[in-house]
């Protein structure tokens, strides 16, 4: 298509689907893998700011090392050359996983978040942060707009634009005197421009949970500065004081995450998640963790109260205590029925009253006994039904072993497949609730089972394997089998694997469809006509043909002797692997030899006319037969051979 904007010769830039403070997000298509992607492009007007460019590239570097199902994956990065105001500028971009869904901010505005959903979403965020912190990355901008819920209900944390490595924690949270982050979810140390660590993300997550539960952030104001001031110097009201239908047990969990001093917050994401799960199951935060999250001027002492408070109002007024009552107030008062009596009661009335008292006492004792027994049995049954069970560690177990372990504890296993680069396929990566969490019997425990790495290398060792072996191996790796085609090959037996599409040795996303290419067991015969025997032998012996040669000769008056005039099978046809090609080579016709005449042929009588002519011409030279032993005539000229002379 003309007019398409293509990055790195691979990614087609499509419609705008999102816009942030420094970048635009477009829907894109990866032409190589044929999948939708999200392309985050730095805005042209921001490209000349080195700090912005550094921040943008830091996001790509930070997220590229993270691999978790609750974190948006980064596939690729690069830079695009653009002409801006007559000068060339390099615009960095990030190619990310395309997530179809809505942000928590959108769901919150639509009123679709319940208490249970809020807890589930925050637990998902904490799982993502646990992985991020373990990899040494602090997000620093956790808020509803940066958390996506897919159409399938999965949660994705995105936008690590201001993330920073824990190793770089000495860096402050200000840039050119501007606080980095979003005011409503800013930690006190961020507002003060101090160093950050993993507990900074936990504070922002506490603000997120507060808003999802109550419908508003913990602090609001006319300006970001006023909101930041409240984060530093004021305490948020208890969530249940804003939403009366919210169980107060969540107050302590949220307020601990919002502690001003990070030492008073949860130590890490798993600790926060454990407290949240326990609250859902009716288990409150331990008392020793409460005083640290309360304003010092309202912290209760054991001498003044009978029970720990559930909430303390922002005004400092104690709203959750039982006032002590002196013991003598109960026992030193005169009974109402005896006040003012000045004369004794008659005996009959006294006896009657005593009898009725005894009867009523017996009835009451029996009733109490029956009721007590019934109540005891009911309590025992309820205790057994609601007995807390500790979730065991399942990591490394097979799916079957994990399910069996949970079933024995009267817990309900729910397997869920996830990608993991470290845990082998079929083994448990983690669980939700996590190990050591206490839950009631009958609780559903999600078991995350590894599908192996998200991207796998197709093994080159499959070349030459049988079709059955190739299918089983690829299925065990998590791939699906696509079409099957056949290809001629000189060495691989018929029905065995020649190759695949994508090719063997390439990196392919787990779960992809792999097409098989099997050997026909045949070889295409090459063209041999007009070649010599050595030339044809060398070509057929080449590994790409691997054929034998059988030579025949045939007399031919036209073709050049020694060249091939015919072959069987013909060129372009097929032959079984290792087959024989018969060639016919031209042979010159034989020529009869020329032999000299024999003696008999020389003494044969000549033609009469010739003889006569000869006689007439050589008459004088004929020998004289009258003299025996005399030769030709010329011998006379030399004298008589018999003369004495």
Q: Which of 84-88, 609-613, 625-629 comes out lowest in average pLDDT?
A: 625-629
Helices (H), ranges, 110-181: 115-134
pLDDT tens per residue across span 49-76 = 777 777 777 767 767 778 899 998 888 8
More confident residue, 529 or 289: 529
Confidence band for 21, pLDDT divided at 50, 70 and 90: low
pLDDT in tens, 24-38: 889 999 998 889 999
Distance of CA 26 to the CA centre of its chain: 21
Confidence band for 415, pLDDT divided at 50, 70 and 90: very high
Report long-range pairs for 525-529 (Cβ below 8 Å, ≥24 apart).
525/567, 525/569, 525/570, 525/571, 525/572, 525/573, 525/574, 525/575, 525/581, 526/571, 527/571, 527/572, 528/564, 528/567, 528/571, 528/581, 528/583, 529/564, 529/565, 529/566, 529/567, 529/571
Spatial CA neighbour of 390 closest among 406, 377, 404: 406
- Cα–Cα nearest to 180, from 22, 46, 362, 318: 22
Closest Cα to residue 462, out of 450, 477, 448?
477
Please tell me the distance from the alpha carbon of residue 554 to that of residue 582, in angstroms, as a whole number.
13
In the predicted model, is pLDDT for residue 606 greater than 80?
A: no
Lowest mean pLDDT of 356-360, 392-396, 477-481, name the range.
Answer: 356-360
Per-residue pLDDT band for 456 (boundaries 50, 70, 90) equals confident
User: In the predicted model, is pLDDT for residue 20 greater than 90?
Assistant: no
pLDDT digits (tens, 9 = 90+) for 117-141: 999 999 999 999 999 999 888 888 8
In this predicted structure, what is the pLDDT of residue 353?
A: 64
Q: What is the mean pLDDT of residues 397-418?
A: 91
480-487: strand order across its sheet: 480-487, 513-519, 497-501
Tell whether the model's pLDDT for residue 586 goes beyond 70: yes
Banded model confidence at residue 634, pLDDT cuts 50, 70, 90: very low
Task: Take residue 417 and report the two structure tokens written for it.
Answer: 């497949």
Pick from 172-186, 479-493, 566-580: least confident: 172-186
3-state class (DSSP) for residue 131: helix
- pLDDT for 142 equals 93
Cross-strand bridge partners of residue 552? 584
Q: Where in the chain is the domain with CATH 3.30.200.20?
A: 5-97
Predicted pLDDT of residue 511: 79
> Which span out of 328-332, 402-406, 636-640 was modeled with the highest average pLDDT?
402-406
Domain covering 525-587: architecture: 2-Layer Sandwich (3.30)
Mean pLDDT value across residues 353-365: 77
Report the range of poorest mean pLDDT among 105-109, 287-291, 445-449, 562-566.
287-291
In the CATH scheme, what is the code of domain 101-295?
A: 1.10.510.10
Any catalytic annotation for residue 417? no
Handedness of CA 597, 600, 606, 612 (dihedral sign): positive
What value does the mean pLDDT of the chain take?
79
In the chain, residues under CATH classification 1.10.510.10 are 101-295
More confident residue, 301 or 592: 592
Q: Is 40 annotated as a binding residue?
A: yes
Q: What are the structure tokens assigned to 234, written together?
A: 């004021």
For domain 388-450, the question of CATH label 3.30.10.20 is answered with yes
* Class for the domain spanning 5-97: alpha beta
**Residue 189 pLDDT > 70:** yes
Answer yes or no: is pLDDT of 253 > 90: yes
CATH number of 455-520: 3.30.10.20
Domain with CATH 3.30.10.20 in the chain: 388-450, 455-520, 525-587
Whether 529 shows a pLDDT value over 50: the answer reads yes
User: Which residues, 6 or more positions from 628, have their beta carbon under 8 angstroms from its beta carbon?
Assistant: none
Rounded to two decimals, the pTM is: 0.46
Q: Which is catalytic among the residues 120, 141, 268, 417? A: 141
pLDDT at site 167: 43
pLDDT for residue 619: 44
390 forms bridges with which residues in the sheet? 438
Q: How far is CA 511 from CA 2, 398, 451, 456, in A?
A: 33, 20, 9, 10
């Amino acid at each position: 298509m003309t007019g398409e904007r293509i990055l790195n010769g691979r990614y087609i830039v499509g419609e705008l689907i999102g816009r942030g403070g420094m970048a635009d997000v477009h829907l894109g298509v990866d032409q190589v893998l044929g999948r939708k992607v999200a392309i985050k492009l730095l805005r042209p007007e921001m490209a000349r700011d080195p700090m912005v460019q550094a921040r943008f590239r830091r996001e790509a570097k930070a997220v590229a090392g993270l691999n978790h199902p609750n974190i948006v994956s980064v596939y690729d990065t690069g830079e695009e050359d653009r002409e801006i105001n007559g000068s060339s500028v390099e615009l960095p971009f990030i190619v990310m996983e395309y997530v179809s869904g809505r942000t928590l901010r959108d769901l919150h505005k639509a009123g679709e978040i319940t208490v249970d959903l809020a807890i589930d979403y925050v637990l998902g965020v904490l799982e993502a942060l646990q992985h991020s912190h373990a990899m040494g990355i602090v997000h620093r901008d956790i808020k509803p707009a940066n958390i996506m819920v897919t159409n399938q209900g999965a949660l994705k944390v995105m936008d690590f634009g201001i993330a920073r490595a824990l190793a770089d924690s000495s860096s402050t949270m200000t840039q050119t005197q501007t606080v980095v982050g979003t005011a409503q979810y800013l930690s006190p140390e961020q507002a003060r421009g101090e160093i950050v660590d993993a507990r900074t993300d936990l504070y922002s997550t506490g603000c997120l949970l507060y808003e999802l539960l109550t419908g508003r952030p913990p602090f609001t104001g006319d300006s970001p500065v006023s909101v930041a001031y409240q984060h530093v110097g004021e305490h948020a009201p208890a969530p249940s004081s804003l939403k009366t239908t919210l169980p107060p047990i969540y107050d302590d969990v949220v307020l601990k995450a919002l502690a001003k001093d990070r030492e008073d917050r949860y130590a890490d994401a798993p600790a926060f998640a454990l407290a949240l799960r326990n609250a859902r199951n009716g288990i409150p935060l331990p008392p020793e963790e409460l005083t640290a999250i309360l304003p010092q001027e309202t912290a209760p002492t054991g001498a003044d109260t009978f029970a720990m408070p559930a909430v303390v109002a922002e005004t400092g007024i104690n709203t959750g205590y039982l006032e002590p009552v002196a013991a003598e107030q109960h026992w030193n008062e005169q009974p109402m029925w005896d006040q003012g009596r000045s004369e004794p009661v008659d005996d009959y009335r006294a006896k009657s009253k005593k009898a009725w008292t005894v009867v009523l006492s017996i009835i009451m004792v029996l009733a109490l006994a029956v009721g007590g027994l019934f109540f005891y049995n009911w309590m025992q049954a309820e205790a057994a039904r609601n007995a807390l069970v500790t979730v065991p560690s399942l990591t490394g177990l097979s799916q079957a072993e994990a399910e069996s372990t949970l079933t024995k504890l009267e817990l309900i296993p729910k397997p869920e497949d996830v990608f993991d680069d470290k845990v082998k396929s079929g083994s448990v990566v983690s669980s939700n609730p996590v190990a050591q969490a206490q839950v009631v019997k009958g609780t559903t425990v999600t078991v995350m089972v590894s599908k192996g790495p998200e991207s796998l290398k197709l093994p080159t060792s499959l070349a030459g394997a049988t079709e059955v072996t190739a299918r089983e191996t690829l299925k065990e790796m998590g791939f699906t089998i696509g079409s099957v085609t056949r290809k001629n090959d000189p060495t691989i037996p018929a029905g065995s694997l020649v190759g695949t599409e994508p090719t063997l040795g390439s990196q392919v996303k787990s779960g992809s469809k792999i097409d098989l290419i099997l050997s026909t067991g045949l070889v295409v015969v090459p063209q041999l006509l007009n070649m010599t025997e050595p030339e044809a032998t060398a070509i057929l012996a080449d590994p790409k043909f691997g054929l034998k040669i059988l030579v025949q000769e045939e007399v031919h008056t036209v073709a050049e002797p020694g060249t091939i005039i015919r072959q069987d099978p013909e060129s372009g046809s097929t032959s079984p692997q290792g087959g024989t090609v018969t060639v016919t080579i031209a042979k010159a016709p034989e020529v009869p030899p020329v032999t000299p005449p024999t003696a008999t042929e020389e003494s044969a009588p000549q033609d009469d006319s010739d003889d006569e002519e000869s006689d007439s011409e050589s008459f004088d030279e004929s020998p004289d037969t009258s003299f025996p032993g005399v030769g030709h005539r010329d011998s006379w000229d030399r004298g008589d051979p018999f003369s004495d002379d």
